[in-house]
Amino acid sequence: MKTNGENQIIFQKIVDHAEWQKASAALLLKEKAATHARDALAAERRRLPMVRIDKTYAFAGPQGKKSLLDLFEGRRQLILYHFMFAPTVPGWPDGGCVGCSMVADQFGCLAHFHARNTSFCLVSRAPLNTIEKLKKRMGWTYPWYSSDGSEFNQDLGLTTDKHEKYGLSVFIHDGKDVYRTYHTNGRGVEGLNIWTFLDLTPLGRQEIWEDSPAGGPRSKPGAWWRRHDEYESGAPKDCCA
């Protein structure tokens, strides 16, 4: 056991490369098992029953009022982050929830979502002009709508009499009706990236290796990947996947 001076950091056992490689290989087997277990969980998630959204909601955006179906922007699926930004949230009105802000810093380029027929947006109870100020301050370009004046947050369980909640909901539509397929919060929003985000949706990554219900679109693993400015140009893929 080794320590590192004033910080008193306890280091692990020091070994030669061969012993380190052996321990690493043993851990890798467990990591692969965890990956396979996560794949199985995603397959089960894709088979969750859905609930139809029967109420009509209006969301305020830079281009005016939008319906929930409008938030899909013409795509089949919608991933919606419920960002805590309201008078009861610490930091109001100059800053949103600290945790939500850290999560939002990691959402990434939306072109990758769009390549899988999936849209992404944020929704908060703050008025639109307050949202726009914070959005500019933080340098975010994600679509961000206000549900101020509607019962959207309350109906979906994100606003209670006592406090606001954050979380992430997934929706799909059939051209007429919108359905909520999934919701998570707490540590469920940790570690999200383009692949794990898509794993939360009914259609998944839409790759042929996935255990998914029949009828959805499929492509070879990684065949749809592009640099985010190459999707519309149709530039050929040249990655190693």
111 close to 118: Cβ distance less than 8 angstroms = no
pTM over 0.85: yes
Name the domain boundary from 183, 199, 215.
Answer: 199
- pLDDT tens-digit profile of 124-183? 999 999 999 999 999 999 999 999 999 999 999 998 877 899 999 999 999 999 999 999
Structural domain for 38, as ranges: 15-45
Point out the least confidently predicted range of 12-16, 21-25, 81-85, 187-191: 187-191
Between CA 226 and CA 113 the distance in angstroms is 11
Does 29 lie in the same domain as 57? no
Concatenate the DSSP letters of all residues of 102-138 into one string.
HHHTT---THHHHTTTEEEEEEESS-HHHHHHHHHHH
Is 146 found in the same domain as 181? yes
Asked whether residue 33 falls in the same domain as residue 132, the answer is no
Average pLDDT estimate for 178-202? 92
- Domain total of the chain: 2
Q: Compute the residue count for the chain.
A: 241
CB 148 within 8 A of CB 128: yes
- For residues 35 and 196, is the Cβ–Cβ distance under 8 A? no
Q: Average pLDDT over the chain, rounded to whole?
A: 91
What is the H or E stretch that residue 2 is in? strand 2-3
